[in-house]
Amino acid sequence: MLRLVIFLDIDDTILQTAPKCPPGEPVEPAAFNRAGEVLSFMTRAQRRLLEFWLAQGTVIPVTGRTDAALDRVAITFASWRVTHHGAVVRQPDGALPTAWRESIQPALVAAAPALRELFARLSDGAAVGGYRVHLHEIEGVPSYISAKADDNDAARDATLAGLRIRLENMGLPSTLALHCNGNNLAVMVKGAQKEDAVRLVIVELERDGPLVTIGAGDSLTDLPFMRLCDFALTPRGSQIQHETWSRFE
């Protein structure tokens, strides 16, 4: 039996913070911070699309969020999960699959020294630079570095843009990749990104028969996993739209 599978980026694709919501449009709470306070919202169009997908197919999150942060999203995901920007893949039962241990985990282990060294360098300049930096891990192995600016709006974007330039000028090791979109800067491990995770999940799901796949995302770094799918969707006003569609305006 043919199955529909939607690989869904979360933040700024199916929900977003209040400043990014359309002015005057009704929204509903969609994600919460550690204190239980509402952090992100979903529009009516996003809710209707999500409900349609959940009714007609299998929705698999493909997110930069950690497992804990994904649990604070008000969406019930019953199948596979891709978190940590692709560095973590979990089966429906929550276990890390054998295929992850054979392909993605070795990439993380190989890049661990470079990621730890870069985290130490970024931590040294965090207070002066006006940003916060965190090293995420899976089973004691670094998965990615995230940086958030302390300021809001334009000042925030300028802070992270400056940090991005600094990293580019430093020259990242060949094992690492950089992502920056709004208040979201991350240093990821090549071979342990969303594209690698989605490819792994597709192979596993195809063991039970043919699929029709949709990839939905907003960031340029989502494009590689979206290209693996039969169809791709990006929200209006997304980084993908701004960066790739502007020539047609």
Contact 187, 145 (CB under 8 A): yes
pLDDT given at position 155: 62
| Three-state DSSP state, 160 | helix
pLDDT in the model for residue 66: 96
What is the distance between the alpha carbons of residues 132 and 126, in angstroms, rounded to a whole number? 6
d(CA 146, CA 50): 27
Q: What are the average pLDDT values for consecutive 10-residue runs of the chain, which has 249 residues?
A: 91 94 94 95 97 97 97 96 98 97 98 95 83 94 91 67 81 90 86 98 96 96 96 93 78
Q: Which residues pair with 6 in a beta bridge?
A: 59, 214
Residue-range domains of the chain with CATH: 3-98+192-248 (3.40.50.1000), 105-189 (3.90.1070)
pLDDT for 179 equals 87
Structure confidence at residue 156 (pLDDT) = 65
**pLDDT at residue number 246:** 72
Helix (H) or strand (E) holding 211: strand 211-216
